[in-house]
């Protein structure tokens, strides 16, 4: 009986500690039974055109976002962002694995799902998917907004030769070219010719020390253009 009591007390202590603070290393173990898994996104698919659910007008339609139920999750939060305008919608407190949203047609979006468990402090976020919501009479889709890889935003890095890298894709399979904007103002200063019409997804530039830099990348398929977000970093 004494052993059982000690075991029960130990287990209760473990559960309480997990409830109050679930460190990353315990999120998917039996020792931390309340920490949720990340949800797997189902629809819309990544890097695909999405058919509208209900067409509301020439410019708007509904889409039902769907994901798999995550183990140990009791609530979800959906975040969806228009790649062109960067306008973000967030839907919290969801208890099912679907959410109908109203979106602008002929636009590219990113979306993700965050899993919650009310008895744990740790959350888990899914992969980030991107898709195009089909629009009337679209003959050529703009490239998806480039994803910036390096340098990392908000970091302090060594001056000198610096690698700028990114990735991008196009629904139509068009060959893409890129323009790399790097400046110490706001990421909109017209770049030199050498940083335009780039066919590769990386470029090395030499940076000065003690500067705050801003950078972004534009992708073009020869017809349409899309832009990444603007990142900033500082050189030592």
pLDDT, tens only, 159-199: 999 999 999 999 999 999 999 999 999 999 999 999 999 99
Residue range(s) of every CATH 2.60.40.10 domain in the chain: 35-133, 147-235
Pairing of strands 156-157, 231-235: parallel
- The third-level CATH classification (topology) of the domain covering 147-235 is Immunoglobulin-like (2.60.40)
Per-residue pLDDT at 110 exceeds 80:
yes
- Of all residues in the chain, the percent with pLDDT exceeding 70 is 86
- CB distance 68 to 97 below 8 Å: yes
- Other CB atoms within a 10 A radius of the CB of residue 56 amount to 13
For the chain, the average pLDDT equals: 89
CATH class for domain 35-133?
mainly beta
Q: What per-residue confidence (pLDDT) applies to 188?
A: 97
Mean pLDDT of 85-109: 96
List of residues 6+ apart from 78 with CB closer than 8 A: 65, 90, 91, 94, 99, 101, 111, 112, 113
Per-residue pLDDT at 42 exceeds 50:
yes
Predicted TM-score of the model (pTM):
0.79
């Amino acid at each position: 009986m004494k052993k059982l009591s000690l075991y029960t007390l130990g287990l209760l202590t473990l559960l309480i500690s997990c409830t109050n603070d679930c460190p990353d290393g315990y999120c998917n173990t039996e020792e931390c039974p309340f920490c949720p898994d990340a949800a797997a996104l189902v629809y819309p698919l990544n890097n695909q055109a999405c058919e509208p659910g209900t067409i509301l007008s020439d410019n708007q339609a509904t889409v039902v976002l769907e994901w798999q139920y995550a183990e140990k999750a009791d609530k979800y939060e959906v975040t969806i962002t228009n790649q062109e305008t960067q306008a973000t919608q967030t839907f919290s407190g969801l208890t099912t694995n679907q959410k109908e949203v109203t979106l602008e047609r002929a636009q590219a979006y990113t979306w993700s799902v965050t899993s919650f468990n009310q008895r744990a402090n740790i959350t888990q976020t899914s992969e980030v998917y991107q898709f195009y919501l089909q629009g009337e009479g679209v003959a050529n889709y703009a490239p998806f907004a480039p994803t910036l890889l390096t340098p990392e935003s908000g970091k302090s890095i060594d001056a000198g030769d610096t690698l700028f890298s990114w990735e991008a894709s196009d629904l139509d399979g068009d060959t893409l070219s890129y323009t790399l904007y790097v400046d110490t103002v706001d990421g909109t200063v017209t770049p030199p010719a050498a940083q335009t019409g780039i066919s590769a997804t990386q470029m090395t530039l030499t940076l000065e020390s003690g500067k705050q830099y801003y950078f972004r990348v534009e992708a073009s398929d020869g017809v349409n253009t899309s832009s990444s977000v603007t990142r900033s970093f500082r050189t030592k």
